[in-house]
Structure 1
Amino acid sequence: MKHFYTENLLLTNNSAKKLYFEYAAAMPIYDYHNHLSPGDVAANKQFRNLTELWLDGDHYKWRAMRWLGIDESLITGQAGDREKFMAWARAVPRLAGNPLYHWSHLELARYFGIEERLSEDNAEEIWDHCSERLQDKSLHAAGILQQFDVRVACTTDDPTGDLAAHRKIKETAGIQSQVLPTFRPDLALNINAPGFSKYILELGEAADCTISSYADLLGALKSRIEYFHEIGCRLSDHGFGAFPFERATEREVAVIFNKALQGEMVTESEESQYRTFTLLRLGEMYYDRGWAMQLHIGAIRNNNTRMMDAIGKDSGYDSILDFHLAASLNAFLNELELGNRLPKTIVYSLYPYHYEMIATTIGNFQSGDSAGKLQLGSAWWFHDQKEGMLQQLKALSSIGVISTFVGMLTDSRSFMSFPRHEYFRRVLCRLFGEWIDEGELPADYDYIGGIVQDICYNNAVRYFGIAKAE
């Protein structure tokens, strides 16, 4: 059987190998942004087979399979789990050059000890082997967190959630990882979205109040922030296409909000005014709580209307949005800084040509509050692969200070995604190793290795204030 040995994957020089194996590889994981189900962790879910664990919900794999002309029935449709896995096994050999080829073999190796190259020829054998291994509690949901030394995992949670699963995780003996909520109030900001009025009613119920005015809305959001804080939340998260900044008074925003509550459509300008003002108020609340604010910017979502109608949103039909960001981002951060209430902020862009601009922008607002108070977020979504990571790391190092970087995250719904941290660490060590070999950095491995370890884990501990540094 042909193998794909991953031991030295991406480690192209001896310095990279030394940095990775002696400094990076054994570091714990701080996964500060993902979309895992806290309910699955609380129940220590046992996955029925490799398709449920590995393929369900993974739009990266879905997009690749569609690109290869595989029928949708074998991707998200009615085909059986075994058939879907066999279709994926046929796809993998054709993914040379795509990060999915590396990820897939890393995942098979790290979860199941399989060093063989996945193909149609060995798919049945691998399916049976993995099905047997999935009976082991180390491959149940909470067991996976422990196996990969995930010290902290921050899920993504709507303000209306009761966070009951997070409470149960805290109370369950044997779950050593901290699984904490992240406050994601996108639905409260999407004022023109269908069902906005219904959502505001649900938010009021969660906050035990009636929201009949904009002041009520701010009060409800503050109440939910306090509730999330009690459960251990220390981060917020926001998703945008283009990033709005349009000034308005609270009175003007209140009128816009009332229009939306009554079912009226608001104009594009009014929407921007509402979102800007509300996000500024939220930023102040985060500052008061000592939270970090994440801004995920630049996705244009659900572009294939026919397929969205057929299988639903967030199914792999999203793209990179190209747009101007510098003026609005600087203005937004400056507005919070004027009141001395700018929280720690991580800015991600799906448009990689923004990296240098974002690095220069956040440099305008760094302060003595903390090292790297503002962060250029890790290479995100389409870019969390070798070339994207190198582009982000080089922009950060050449314009900012890479030693303060809080590192990688999975941004995933899959419990099989933790090797993405390994993949990132290999790329990181490759870059530092090249700098050493080219004489740009000294061959002082304890010094450089310490920076690598900080980026892998310790900086996140210091930045978010959860867990302990190594």
Structure 2
Amino acid sequence: MKNFLDENFLLQNKTAEKLYHEFAKQMPVIDYHNHLPPDQIANDINFKNLTQVWLYGDHYKWRAMRTNGIDESYCTGDKSDFEKFEKWAATVPYTLRNPLYHWTHLELQRYYNITKILSADTAKEIYDEASAKLITPEYSVRNLLRKANVKVLCTTDDPIDSLEHHKKIADDNFEIKILPAFRPDKAMNCDDAAAFNAYVAKVEAASNISVSSYDDYLKALKNRHDFFASMGASVSDHGLEQIYAEDYTDTEIKNIFAKLRSGTNVSYEENLKFKSAMLVDFAKWDHEKGWVQQYHLGALRNNNARMMRLLGADTGWDSIGDFSQGKALAKFLGKLDTTDQLAKTILYNLNPADNELMATMIGNFNDGSVAGKIQFGSGWWFLDQKDGMVKQLNALSNMGLVSKFVGMLTDSRSFMSYPRHEYFRRILCNMFGEEIENGEIPNNIEWVGKVIQDICFNNANQYFGFGVK
């Protein structure tokens, strides 16, 4: 029997152990998509306690606490930080077989060298020990990133963002690249005319361009896209239920925009056409600049209307959606490919039923111009756990080239999430190690080790053009 979370955690054979400890473990981290607040990095803050770094904004933990019968006041409410932590600690023993159990104890070990199991009984001791470290200079957010061996970190930023915090970070000559990523979801969201016009006003202010037509709107957004590029951005990102790929004419889109600007809500069909047009324009700009575009597809968001009204978005009321993805995705990518304006693209899938669809879709548009030009992204959100990662890796291996995969990312709001890269790497090494020992892969440790290192770091470094060592 193995000990819980020992040095060979998730490594089920000697070959897997060798692959992880000699090849994967030491590789740096490129985190090309996350939701970390750049202001906290710019100011190199220290969190005051374990709750602040661990529970603030973490809807994964909130969902588990709610399921355990914990009142909302201990999740997003006004209870004290330690009271919230106590309730989380009391919940942890009941998260067995949920990835939260593994992540929680990996993070305690890797950041604080705490090997005790978190529970109601150990809550005070662990809280005090970790919090005492967090307030020291060694545990500032920049040092937390250094501890995790992070080399590049791409935040997620709205087009109207001033990027002032990124400028401060760059001016400080911080050795870890902290780069913005262009996330224009709000810019194309025309579900509500009033909200859309309020956003257009913000685009006008940010770009200093008056918007009275669709062409003006594109000019203002392109101004922001150019500004992001000047600040080091080379990545865009979209969080969508599904790709929009309706047929439209320029005249139709201009009329729809005018209708929105008049304060009139548009029809369902007009909504889809407008979003389709905007996605194409954004994609053309990405291709023009040589950026990588990312599409996170399949989330059914804000399902609890009552809690959405009380708490707002991103508070833990989302689920996997069952949208039809294939036809529109092929049409959208094909439209760009036809005019040779298809940028390097990563597709993230939230419904595991669509894994094989995504794994085969990327092959339709990998044209040989760039290794792995179109990527099937790592398991994300509900799927960034052992089962989800294995299924994604198997689908990609069976129907594409896993050797050209750009690997793991955190997609997190927590500075303590970087052990997820370790988690992924252990799972990856175990898969390869098992197949070597089964005689399914040649016992060429050096070659397989190189492929693993490529997946962990080298492929992403080359694909994104970050040029770090």
TM interval, shorter chain, is over 0.9
Q: What amino acid does structure 2 have at the position aligned with 1:183?
A: F
Which residue in 1 is equivalent to 2:186?
A: 187
1:191-206 matches, within 5 Å, as: 191-193=190-192, 195-206=195-206
Q: Find the aligned partners of 1:353 and 1:121 in 2 and give their Cα distance.
A: 41
Which residue in 2 is equivalent to 1:126?
A: 126
Q: Find the aligned partners of 1:325 and 1:341 in 2 and give their Cα distance.
A: 21
Q: Find the aligned partners of 2:5 and 2:183 in 1 and give their Cα distance.
A: 39
- What's the secondary structure of 1:452's corresponding residue? helix
1:353-396: per-residue Cα shift (whole Å, max 9, x none)? 11111111110110222100000011010000000000000000
Instruction: Please tell me whether residue 16 in structure 1 is matched to residue 13 in structure 2.
Output: no
Shift of 1:468: 2.2
1:112-159: per-residue Cα shift (whole Å, max 9, x none)? 000111111111111111111112223211111111111000000000
The TM-score normalised by the length of structure 1 is 0.98
Check whether the contact 1:4–1:117 (CA below 8 A) recurs between aligned residues.
no
- What's the secondary structure of 1:434's corresponding residue? helix
Shift of 1:31: 0.2
Q: How many residues align?
A: 466
Q: What amino acid does structure 1 have at the position aligned with 2:55?
A: L
Q: Find the aligned partners of 1:51 and 1:223 in 2 and give their Cα distance.
A: 40
Q: What amino acid does structure 1 have at the position aligned with 2:59?
A: H
Shift of 1:442: 1.1
Check whether the contact 2:405–2:455 (CA below 8 A) recurs between aligned residues.
yes
Q: What amino acid does structure 1 have at the position aligned with 2:189?
A: N
Shift of 1:16: 1.0
- What's the secondary structure of 2:449's corresponding residue? helix
Q: Which moved more, 1:257-266 or 1:102-111?
A: 257-266
Which residue in 1 is equivalent to 2:53?
A: 53
Q: Find the aligned partners of 1:262 and 1:241 in 2 and give their Cα distance.
A: 27
Which residue in 2 is equivalent to 1:292?
A: 292
Which residue in 2 is equivalent to 1:301?
A: 301
Instruction: Please tell me whether residue 33 in structure 1 is matched to residue 36 in structure 2.
Output: no
Q: Find the aligned partners of 1:160 and 1:111 in 2 and give their Cα distance.
A: 35
Q: Which moved more, 1:403-412 or 1:218-227?
A: 218-227
- What's the secondary structure of 2:237's corresponding residue? strand
Check whether the contact 1:138–1:147 (CA below 8 A) recurs between aligned residues.
no
Q: What amino acid does structure 2 have at the position aligned with 1:189?
A: M
Which residue in 1 is equivalent to 2:219?
A: 219
Q: Find the aligned partners of 1:421 and 1:132 in 2 and give their Cα distance.
A: 26
Q: Find the aligned partners of 2:370 and 2:153 in 1 and give their Cα distance.
A: 22
Q: Find the aligned partners of 2:146 and 2:87 in 1 and give their Cα distance.
A: 31
Check whether the contact 2:35–2:411 (CA below 8 A) recurs between aligned residues.
yes
- What's the secondary structure of 1:397's corresponding residue? helix
Q: Find the aligned partners of 2:263 and 2:297 in 1 and give their Cα distance.
A: 27
Q: Find the aligned partners of 2:36 and 2:406 in 1 and give their Cα distance.
A: 20
Which residue in 2 is equivalent to 1:83?
A: 83
Which residue in 2 is equivalent to 1:230?
A: 230
Q: Find the aligned partners of 1:87 and 1:96 in 2 and give their Cα distance.
A: 16
1:229-257: per-residue Cα shift (whole Å, max 9, x none)? 01110000001113221110111111011
Q: What amino acid does structure 2 have at the position aligned with 1:388?
A: G
Q: Find the aligned partners of 1:5 and 1:208 in 2 and give their Cα distance.
A: 54
- What's the secondary structure of 2:152's corresponding residue? strand
Which residue in 2 is equivalent to 1:136?
A: 136
Q: Which moved more, 1:261-270 or 1:416-425?
A: 261-270
Instruction: Please tell me whether residue 357 in structure 1 is matched to residue 391 in structure 2.
Output: no
1:5-24: per-residue Cα shift (whole Å, max 9, x none)? 33211111111111111000
1:80-159 matches, within 5 Å, as: 80-159=80-159
Q: Find the aligned partners of 2:310 and 2:152 in 1 and give their Cα distance.
A: 36
Q: What amino acid does structure 2 have at the position aligned with 1:283?
A: A
Which residue in 2 is equivalent to 1:246?
A: 246
Q: Find the aligned partners of 2:110 and 2:391 in 1 and give their Cα distance.
A: 27
Shift of 1:352: 1.2
1:71-93: per-residue Cα shift (whole Å, max 9, x none)? 11111111100011011111111
- What's the secondary structure of 1:340's corresponding residue? coil
- What's the secondary structure of 1:88's corresponding residue? helix
Q: Find the aligned partners of 1:33 and 1:183 in 2 and give their Cα distance.
A: 11
Q: What amino acid does structure 1 have at the position aligned with 2:421?
A: H
Aligned CA-pair RMSD: 1.1
Which residue in 1 is equivalent to 2:426?
A: 426
The TM-score normalised by the length of structure 2 is 0.98
Which residue in 2 is equivalent to 1:327?
A: 327
Q: Find the aligned partners of 2:277 and 2:131 in 1 and give their Cα distance.
A: 51
Q: What amino acid does structure 2 have at the position aligned with 1:106?
A: L
Shift of 1:54: 0.5
Q: Find the aligned partners of 1:261 and 1:247 in 2 and give their Cα distance.
A: 22
Unaligned runs of 5+ in 1: none
Q: Find the aligned partners of 2:111 and 2:138 in 1 and give their Cα distance.
A: 9
- What's the secondary structure of 1:210's corresponding residue? coil
Moved segments of 4+, more than 6 Å? none
- What's the secondary structure of 1:204's corresponding residue? helix
Shift of 1:282: 1.1
Check whether the contact 2:111–2:147 (CA below 8 A) recurs between aligned residues.
no
Check whether the contact 1:28–1:149 (CA below 8 A) recurs between aligned residues.
yes
Instruction: Please tell me whether residue 69 in structure 1 is matched to residue 69 in structure 2.
Output: yes
Q: What amino acid does structure 1 have at the position aligned with 2:10?
A: L
Q: Find the aligned partners of 1:404 and 1:138 in 2 and give their Cα distance.
A: 36
